[in-house]
Every structure is written in structure tokens, then in C-alpha cells.
Amino acid sequence: MNNARLMAFAADHQLLVFALLGLTAAILYTELTRLTSGFKAVEPGALTALINRQNALLVDVSALADFEKGHIAGAKNVQPSHFDPENKVLAAVRDLPVVVTCRSGMASSAAARKLAKAGFKQVYWLDGGVAAWQQADLPVAKGKN
């Protein structure tokens, strides 16, 4: 495709060109934010390795009702309104792996960012949350801790 045809297409389809530019900018922003966030996304399979091999602390910031419906065994529930990197449970593991999760992965991303900004060295975020864990056919515990 030569430049003249490309420019003619762009002139005839300005909406598509703007949509492409907008999507490209959104993808770049998302990737740059992810790379500079200070925490790493982890998939369910890799999370099992972190828990079993490195004794990672798993913090679930789901609402209590969601936590009781199903959570990863061994997870500690901390309500988002009480989530504080200086919390005695968290402060004690500042240099150890800490994995933050929630129901869908949205709230836990913000919590992981807080930990990274507070100086935690090994912060992970379960991409997709407990829902991704369940989709991977991994077991969940029900009720309180």
C-alpha cells in the first residue's frame, strides 16, 4: 500500500483513524502504568507457586460478603476501608512476597499500588481476582478465615 492510498483512506475514514489513535494511546497508557506500578500481575497457576514455595501472604480486599462466598484458602480478609500498609500484619512482612486479590481484580490493583508505594519489595496482584482463580478450576474456601 502506497502513501497516497493510505492518506486517501485516512481522509475518507477519519472516525476510524481517530478510533485507532485513541485505542493505541489507551493501550500505551495502560502498559506504561503497569510497568511503572511497582507490582507484578500474577496468574492463578503462578500464585500457587508463590504460596507453596515462597510462603507469600495472601490479602483479600473483597467485601466481607464476597469473601465469605468464596476465597483462596489461607487468605486474610482486609476491608478496603481498613487497608493500610502500616497494618501490623502487613508491616511485619514488608520484605516478603505479598499477593493482593479481590473478587474481580479491580480493587486489589489499587491496594497493590498502595503497598508498592509504601516500600514493600515483592508485591503481586492476582490478575482477574478470585473469579480467575475459580475459572482455573482451583478450590476456594467458604466462610470466614
Walk along the chain (145 residues) and give the pLDDT tens digit of each residue: 688 888 889 899 999 999 999 999 888 887 776 666 678 889 999 999 898 898 889 999 999 999 999 999 999 998 877 788 887 777 777 888 999 999 988 888 888 988 888 888 899 999 999 999 999 999 999 887 6
Residue pair 22/107 in contact by the 8 Å Cβ criterion: no
Catalytic-role residue among 42, 99, 102, 115: 102
Residue 27's φ and ψ, nearest 5 degrees, are: -65, -45
Cell numbers for 18: 481517530
The beta strand positions in 45-86, using DSSP E, are 57-60, 76-77
Active site residue 74: no
pTM, two decimals, is 0.72
Report the alpha-carbon distance of residue 79 to residue 90 in Å, rounded. 13
The class level of CATH for 38-135 reads alpha beta
- Rounded distance between C-alpha atoms, residue 142 and residue 66, angstroms: 10
